[in-house]
Chains A and B, each alone.
Chain A
Amino acid sequence: KAGVTQTPRYLIKTRGQQVTLSCSPISGHRSVSWYQQTPGQGLQFLFEYFSETQRNKGNFPGRFSGRQFSNSRSEMNVSTLELGDSALYLCASSLTGPGANVLTFGAGSRLTVL
């Protein structure tokens, strides 16, 4: 079956712009989690959606937002980009949520902010 698909794979933005990243989960998976990965901080949890509702949110500013659609596809948005937002953004899906369910990750979206 198809894996988790993230688009775009690479993008370059300038400070102050905004960006939208997309994630298509594995068919049948209703939970989508987003993570930011940087060399210094590792994988940091952004938020998790289940059935179009945000169930959990990590410690990120309000510039980071997301949503989930009825088909479980998810998007995340970062507004007013800062240099420090340069990172690999990973989306992961699971059947009902993390914990006992394992996460299946996409290949990520590499964001560079200039």
Chain B
Amino acid sequence: SQKIEQNSEALNIQEGKTATLTCNYTNYSPAYLQWYRQDPGRGPVFLLLIRENEKEKRKERLKVTFDTTLKQSLFHITASQPADSATYLCALDMWDYGGSQGNLIFGKGTKLSVKP
């Protein structure tokens, strides 16, 4: 079955540095891969979606890469700020080859702490 691994449970960095989070998956490559942010006591909030035929996607200080050969996605936050401190989740679609719609499965997340 498809598995997602976010290599680091926690990542501590200094303000202004670039945070890089890793998401690896096994088995088949998903058609779409998404990243979400979750703050304590809240539901996840969508950040970026990248398609299998896209190598890179950017949104303001955020950048996502998708390498289907390595079965890996990297999530970068440049010029990080203490307000970026949160848990970041990667998620990918999981299609039923019987033809039904897929569902989204999530990694366990990486807790990012940005120190001033």
Contacts and interface: CB of A to CB of B under 8 A. Distances in A.
Contact of A103 (B31, B42, B96, B104): B104
A104 B45 CA distance: 7
Nearest to A110: B41
Given A92-B43, A108-B42, A55 B100 contact: yes
A53 B38 CA distance: 29
A43 B101 contact: no
Contacts of A96: 101
Contacts of B93: 98-100
Interface residues of B, number: 25
A90 interface: yes
Interface of B: 31-32, 34, 36, 41-46, 49, 89, 93, 95-96, 100-109
Given A99-B95, A104-B46, 12 more contacts: A35-B106, A45-B103, A45-B105, A50-B101, A90-B43, A98-B102, A99-B31, A99-B102, A99-B104, A103-B104, A107-B42, A108-B41
Closest 4 pairs between A and B when the two form their complex, measured CB to CB: A105-B43, A42-B108, A98-B104, A43-B106
